[in-house]
A and B are shown apart, each in its own frame.
Chain A
Amino acid sequence: EVLLVQSGAELKKPGESLRLSCRGSGYTFTSHWINWVRQLPGKGLEWMGRIDPRDSYTNYAPSFQGHVVFSVDKSISTAYLQWSSLQASDTAIYYCARRGEPCGGQTCYYTFDYWGQGTVVTVSS
């Protein structure tokens, strides 16, 4: 069974650093990109970017470039999302999601086939 298990809820102060984790199991971790998705309180889903666990190559959505950092530790099948200085506006739920390639007929498509349970991050003074 494919599972993505994320770290627990966090309560932090503005200016503090934070690292969230997402551990994959039930599949070959290096075969699928890990994406990060933000959900602001009461709002929709925003794609933050992705990391390829094979080589740690990353792409960031413009809104998040320079504000967060993605990394992986292949030895423990875990991806990370990191901030060096949190802001109150970072208060949100953060999801990791696997890029899968399911097939319909003879064509396969990139999509987010498995998701972590989400991590609630609250940044408040």
Chain B
Amino acid sequence: EIVLTQSPVTLSVSPGERATLSCRASQSVSDNFSWYQQKPGQAPRLLVFGASTRATGVPVRFSGSGSGTEFTLTISNLQSEDSALYYCQQHTNWPPSWTFGQGTKVEIK
């Protein structure tokens, strides 16, 4: 079973600064890799798929990168509305399964 480890657990960033979130896989994964944002009391929202493609309607300040075992979500020019939990996710084709990281909480200073 592939394990995804996100770091840091909590990230405190000032408005306008950059936040860098990491996700490490226990073994090499395909680029079937996604990032989600979850705000309190809301369902998760897809931000990035294919490791680096922004989903429809996602602001350009969100960018994904990485391959193999190391993936990164970067939030540039952090806004107050970006305060949320962020989860990484990988997909295995067969048998089909999805795995989530444990999440990184982004706080605004």
Contacts and interface: CB of A to CB of B under 8 A. Distances in A.
Interface of A: 33, 35, 37, 44-47, 50, 59, 61, 95, 97, 102, 104-105, 107, 109-113, 115-118
B80 interface: no
A51 to B, nearest CB: 11
A45 B102 CA distance: 7
Interface in B65-96: 87, 89, 91, 93, 95-96
Query: Counting chain A CB atoms within 10 Å of each CB, which of B87, B97, B102 scores highest?
Result: B97
Interface of B: 31-32, 34, 36, 38, 43-46, 49-50, 52-53, 55-56, 87, 89, 91, 93, 95-103
B46 A47 contact: no
Contact of B43 (A50, A105, A110, A118): A118
Contacts of A107: 31, 50
Per CB-CB distance, the 9 closest pairs between chain A and chain B, nearest first, are A104-B53, A115-B43, A111-B49, A109-B50, A47-B98, A45-B100, A104-B50, A111-B34, A44-B103
